[in-house]
Amino acid sequence: MDYNDFTRVVDEKERGLEMQVAFPALMRKVYGWMALALIITLLFAVVFGFLLGGVNGFFVGYLHRPSFIVTLATRLVYRSLIVYTLSVQEGHPSTFRLDGYAGKGDTLYTMGNLSFASISLVGIIFILLVLFFYLLATRTKFGRKIYAVGSNSKAASLIGIHVSSVKALVFAIEGLLIGFAAFLQLGIRGNIDPSAAGKSYELYAIASNVLGGISMAGGSGNILGVLFGALAFQTIDKIIAALHLSPNLNDTIKGIILLVAVVFQILRFSP
């Protein structure tokens, strides 16, 4: 599989980094309920995610292995390790659950469920991240390198761009973001099931990119398109519910819409 640009919200990352979705819950238990634990948990989640993403980036960027195969393999390794970590805990629980979650003074619960003017703090953080990475991808030298590599890695190499480093760093940044998302998810829910966390996320990522007008060949599109694609894809559920259609048809309707979007994308990007 060819390397695609940064704006694709690379679906392989969702598969390859599911382990870190569960680790923040473990660290939260270890460090207790102090505010300092919140910072330690956050740092652990993003640093660990960065390292896991870096593993994928090393194989894809420096060893030139297909990203699909690499991330599929690391998905198996990461999920297996975190499930094993849980299985050796006392009582053999199936879920990482925070003791005393939502209790008095629980800073993690407050962070995950705080709202301003009916907009959740998590939603505000999401919007700020989208704007930050939009500016990073479109207004910085690094962002232009990502587009160049995604469009034509050989041509990018000829003009002096270190393609392997760019690929590796993009995967590492993806891992960091997923670690941060896992931290936020823990704050919202208070528990994480490692056997189910992150499953099917890659499908939503692919659909969001296609609906958002991102070229699957790489090098074209922007993160704002991905944002609106994700919102559109989630809106489909609301429409299906409003029309009183069977929930069993959800995936059928989404699949048809995705196929139509792919056809339009082919027509749009074809020479």
Distances (CA, A) of 12 to 61, 131, 155: 14, 23, 24
Report pLDDT for 164: 95
The pTM of the full predicted model, rounded to 2 decimals, is: 0.79
Report pLDDT for 31: 47
Q: At 191, phi and psi to the nearest 5?
A: -155, 155
Q: How far apart are CA 254 and CA 256, in angstroms?
A: 5
Per-residue pLDDT of the chain (271 residues; tens, 9 = 90+): 444 444 343 444 444 445 555 555 555 554 444 567 778 888 999 999 999 999 999 999 999 999 889 988 998 898 888 888 878 877 777 777 666 665 556 677 777 888 888 888 888 999 999 999 999 999 999 999 999 998 889 999 999 999 999 999 999 999 999 899 888 888 888 777 777 777 777 777 878 888 887 877 777 778 888 888 888 877 877 888 888 888 788 778 888 888 887 787 777 666 5
Tokens coding 145: 């390198």
Which segments of the chain are extended strands (E)?
Answer: 96-97, 115-116, 119-120, 191-192
Report pLDDT for 11: 45
Distances (CA, A) of 256 to 24, 200, 211, 223, 250: 37, 17, 12, 23, 10
Report pLDDT for 236: 79
Report pLDDT for 5: 45
